[in-house]
């Protein structure tokens, strides 16, 4: 798909609508009591702030002309107390709102991460992981200011504007109307800028996503980069992608900053207009104290208006990121529990594939009418050419994908009719792509069975012959491995993954190229333990080394989307068909080397 490239902009599949803000409000809801407390404090601070210009008016028009020192000291004291109260309110607001905002962001980040874990393999196959990662981290973080301060400040500023207007109308109606005469210009400006700003930030989010995807890809492939001396070429590509991001950033910022100076200029023009009208007494009759107080109220009016303009800027900016966040959250998992799904009871291990047809892409069947029945305790080896569908069979059994036609059953239960958790907890899976998490070796083996004791972990490690190398490490089972197990060899990572799968004590064991990175000597030792372990379990084994599967109950040769041959090793060798040719070719190659 075109999206699966770092240099291709993502198309927005779901346009923004105002219901997204309602969804955002759903994350705010649990914190309403805390927000209400902050609002009360803010309202009290706003009311206290309104007394400053009024005290100044009284002092200039009445107290100072009358030389009433005592009353002047009282007014000054009250004014000082109001400033202290406002300072305390500001401190409380900053701390409380920051905590609330970060809690909201944490909840959103948890929601998107939880949802990502339920999405199918196909979602991750079709997108660079860097473009997924940026939605969980960067895009959520861009909402920090909006949720930490913006929302509360908006409510605070609206209250401030209303309270200020009340005081202004109380002092002089005509001057108040003069103060509002330039507001229509502001509204026209806002409407003009909003669409341009949203589109600019959509483009910025695309370039930011591309940059993150390339960085992620480059770090993941750093060994290949250095092996082929591609540093200069990659640096040039990075420079191009980074430059695109820079240009998109500059365009977005230029549009965003159109609003702030516009509001600021309108504020200055309004103040100048009031000075002009007040001094010339054009249609008004005001005292000097009233005029000075009114200028103070105009600042109290336009400062929150400027803040509301900044909030609107943040809102438009956040819109571009909310679209991406909610688009991810609205991604419907292809594989999920049906409404009527039941818990799969403890299984024996019978597996039935009935006329199974599966395709990754329309018109191209990977499996085409596959039928087989596996009785409990049998070990099944899957062999055949690359891309024949061997891994697809075990993916359908684990229900990482759903069949297009037919059915896959475990103990007579269609895997689509039972819950995913109850199905997968009864299987042990070791996929071809071995993954070791950062943490101790003990925790890595315990990953699929959290309640396992250390003795059980060591026992599982001994069976798969992992114990020998683990005990020789500096801290043994408490040795901390790096991300993706980079400090371990490929064979060691596979042995740890094998122990992890076996520790779960599954009734169905799936091994996809489980011994591909293990040397021949270790593999021989491993086979000894496996023969005992596989007793009483249904197992599916994919291995290119045919020597490892000779003792399987049945061997399926998968070709052309079907089971072309099936039987024991001896039976298939006697047929002198596809399996015989494959085995003989591999044997001749080993003998020649």
482 and 518 share a domain? no
Listed residue (99, 147, 102, 132) closest to 325, CA to CA:
132
pTM: 0.65
**Strand 480-481 relative to strand 508-512: parallel, antiparallel, unpaired?**
unpaired
| Cβ neighbours, 10 Å, residue 352 | 17
Q: How long a stretch of residues is the chain?
A: 593
d(CA 238, CA 585): 45
103 and 237 share a domain? yes
Domain membership flag for residue 15 = no
194 and 297 share a domain? yes
88 and 227 share a domain? yes
Q: DSSP labels for 397-437? A: HTTSS--SEEEEEETTEEGGGB-HHHHHTTEEEE-SS----
Write the pLDDT tens digit of every residue in 221-269: 777 788 778 888 888 888 988 898 899 888 888 877 776 677 777 777 8
Domain membership flag for residue 8 = no
**Strand 405-410 relative to strand 413-414: parallel, antiparallel, unpaired?**
antiparallel
Domain membership flag for residue 49 = yes
d(CA 548, CA 569): 11
d(CA 112, CA 135): 8
Q: By the 8 A CB rule, do 539 and 517 touch?
A: no
d(CA 457, CA 473): 16
Integer CA distances (angstroms), 534 to 3, 384, 505, in order: 43, 23, 10
* Final residue of a structural domain among 263, 298, 329: 329
Query: Coil, helix or strand for 372?
Result: strand
Q: By the 8 A CB rule, do 149 and 101 touch?
A: yes
d(CA 432, CA 513): 5
Domain membership flag for residue 5 = no
Question: Can you list the residues of the chain whose pLDDT is less than 70?
Answer: 1-18, 145, 148-149, 151-152, 259-260, 280-284, 310, 313, 431-433, 483-486, 514-533, 547-548, 589-593
Domain membership flag for residue 343 = no
Domain membership flag for residue 10 = no
Please compute, for residue 420, the number of CA atoms within 13 A of its CA located in the half-sphere on the CB side: 17
How many domains is the chain built from?
Answer: 3
204 and 95 share a domain? yes
403 and 446 share a domain? no
* Final residue of a structural domain among 505, 534, 551: 505
Question: What was the pLDDT predicted at 32?
Answer: 86
Q: Which two tokens stand for residue 464?
A: 């798969």
- To which H or E segment does residue 197 belong? helix 183-220
Buried/exposed code over 461-479 (b: 16+ C-beta within 10 A; e: otherwise): bebbbbbebbeeeeeebee
440 and 412 share a domain? no
440 and 454 share a domain? yes
Listed residue (452, 536, 543) closest to 501, CA to CA:
452
Listed residue (352, 334, 354) closest to 406, CA to CA:
354
Please compute, for residue 103, the number of CA atoms within 13 A of its CA located in the half-sphere on the CB side: 14
Q: By the 8 A CB rule, do 353 and 405 touch?
A: no
**CATH number of the domain enclosing 458:** 3.40.50.300
Q: Which two tokens stand for residue 330?
A: 């609205």
The position carrying tokens 């396992």 is 452
Backbone dihedral region for residue 583 (phi beyond 0: left; psi -120 to 50: alpha; all else: beta): alpha
The position carrying tokens 């000779």 is 550
Listed residue (318, 216, 319, 302) closest to 266, CA to CA:
302
d(CA 274, CA 297): 11
3-state SS, 299-327, equals HHHHHHHHHHHHHHHHHHHHHHHHHHHHH
Which residues, at least 6 apart from 366, have a Cβ–Cβ distance to it below 8 Å? Answer: 358, 359, 360, 389, 392, 561
| Cβ neighbours, 10 Å, residue 129 | 13
Buried/exposed code over 539-567 (b: 16+ C-beta within 10 A; e: otherwise): bbbbbeebebbeebebbbbbbebbbebeb
> DSSP secondary-structure letter at 524?
H
Which residues, at least 6 apart from 53, have a Cβ–Cβ distance to it below 8 Å? Answer: 167, 292, 293, 294, 296, 297, 300
Question: What was the pLDDT predicted at 169?
Answer: 82
223 and 369 share a domain? no
Q: Which two tokens stand for residue 128?
A: 């660079």
420 and 559 share a domain? yes
The position carrying tokens 């905590």 is 99
Query: Coil, helix or strand for 574?
Result: helix
Q: DSSP labels for 232-292? A: HHHHHHHHHHHHHHHHHHHHHHHHHTTHHHHHHHHHHHHHHHHHHHHHHTSS----HHHHH
Q: Note every long-range contact of 188-192, with CB atoms under 8 Å and residues 24 or more positions apart, other chains counting.
A: 189/258, 189/259, 189/262, 190/259, 190/309, 190/312
Domain membership flag for residue 322 = yes
Question: What was the pLDDT predicted at 514?
Answer: 62
Bridge partners (DSSP) listed for residue 539: 379, 509
Question: What was the pLDDT predicted at 407?
Answer: 95
Please compute, for residue 564, the number of CA atoms within 13 A of its CA located in the half-sphere on the CB side: 17
Question: What was the pLDDT predicted at 557?
Answer: 93
| Cβ neighbours, 10 Å, residue 17 | 10
Domain membership flag for residue 334 = no
d(CA 570, CA 552): 11
Query: Coil, helix or strand for 34?
Result: helix
91 and 120 share a domain? yes
Question: What was the pLDDT predicted at 2?
Answer: 40
299 and 383 share a domain? no
Q: Which domain holds residue 467?
A: 431-505
Write the pLDDT tens digit of every residue in 51-98: 777 777 788 878 888 888 888 888 888 888 888 998 898 888 888 888
């Amino acid at each position: 798909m075109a999206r699966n490239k770092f240099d291709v902009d993502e198309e927005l599949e779901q346009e923004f609508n105002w219901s997204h803000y309602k969804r955002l409000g759903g994350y705010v809801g649990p914190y309403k009591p805390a927000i209400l407390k902050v609002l009360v404090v803010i309202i009290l601070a706003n009311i206290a702030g309104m007394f400053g210009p009024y005290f100044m008016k009284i002092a200039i028009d009445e107290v100072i002309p009358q030389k009433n020192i005592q009353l002047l000291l009282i007014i000054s004291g009250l004014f000082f107390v109001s400033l202290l109260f406002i300072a305390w309110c500001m401190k409380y607001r900053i701390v409380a709102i920051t905590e609330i905002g970060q809690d909201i962001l944490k909840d959103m980040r948890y929601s998107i991460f939880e949802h990502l874990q339920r999405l199918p393999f196909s979602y991750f196959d079709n997108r660079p992981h860097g473009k997924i990662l940026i939605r969980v981290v960067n895009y959520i973080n861009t909402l920090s200011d909006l949720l930490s301060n913006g929302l509360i400040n908006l409510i605070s500023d609206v209250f401030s504007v209303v309270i200020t207007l009340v005081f202004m109308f109380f002092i002089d109606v005509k001057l108040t109307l003069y103060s509002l005469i330039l507001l229509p210009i502001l509204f026209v400006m806002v409407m003009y800028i909003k669409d341009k700003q949203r589109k600019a930030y959509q483009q910025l989010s695309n370039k930011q996503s591309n940059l993150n995807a390339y960085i992620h890809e480059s770090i993941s492939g750093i060994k290949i980069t250095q092996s082929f001396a591609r540093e200069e070429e990659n640096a040039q590509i990075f420079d191009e992608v980074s430059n695109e991001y820079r240009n998109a950033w500059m365009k977005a910022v230029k549009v965003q900053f159109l609003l702030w100076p516009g509001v600021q200029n309108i504020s200055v023009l309004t103040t100048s207009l009031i000075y002009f009208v007040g001094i010339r007494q054009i249609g008004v009759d005001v005292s000097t104290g009233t005029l000075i107080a009114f200028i103070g109220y105009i600042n109290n009016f336009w400062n929150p208006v400027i803040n509301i303009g900044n909030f609107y800027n943040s809102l438009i900016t956040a819109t571009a990121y909310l679209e991406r966040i909610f688009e991810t959250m609205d991604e419907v998992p292809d594989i999920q529990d049906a409404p009527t799904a039941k818990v799969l009871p403890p299984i024996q291990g019978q597996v039935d594939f009935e006329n199974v047809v599966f395709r990754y892409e329309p018109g191209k069947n990977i499996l085409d009418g596959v039928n087989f029945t596996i009785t409990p305790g049998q070990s099944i080896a899957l062999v055949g050419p690359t891309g024949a569908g061997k891994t697809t069979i075990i993916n359908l059994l684990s229900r990482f994908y759903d069949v297009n036609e037919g059915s896959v059953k475990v103990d007579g239960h269609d895997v689509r009719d039972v819950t995913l958790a109850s199905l997968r907890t009864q299987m042990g899976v070791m996929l071809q792509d071995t993954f070791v998490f950062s943490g101790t070796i003990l925790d890595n083996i315990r990953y699929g069975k959290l309640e396992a004791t250390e003795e059980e972990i060591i026992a599982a490690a001994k069976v798969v012959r992992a114990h020998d190398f683990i005990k020789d490490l500096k801290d043994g089972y408490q040795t901390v491995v790096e991300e993706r197990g980079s400090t371990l060899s490929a064979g060691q990572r596979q042995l740890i993954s094998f122990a992890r799968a076996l520790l779960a004590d599954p009734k169905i064991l799936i091994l996809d190229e489980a011994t591909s990175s293990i040397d021949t000597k270790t593999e021989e030792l491993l086979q000894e333990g496996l023969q005992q372990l596989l007793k009483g379990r249904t197992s599916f084994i994919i291995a290119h080394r045919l020597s490892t599967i000779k003792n399987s109950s049945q061997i399926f040769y998968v070709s052309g989307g079907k089971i072309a041959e099936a039987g024991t090793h001896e039976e298939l060798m006697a047929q002198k068909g596809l399996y015989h040719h494959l085995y003989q070719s591999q044997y001749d190659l080993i003998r020649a080397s």
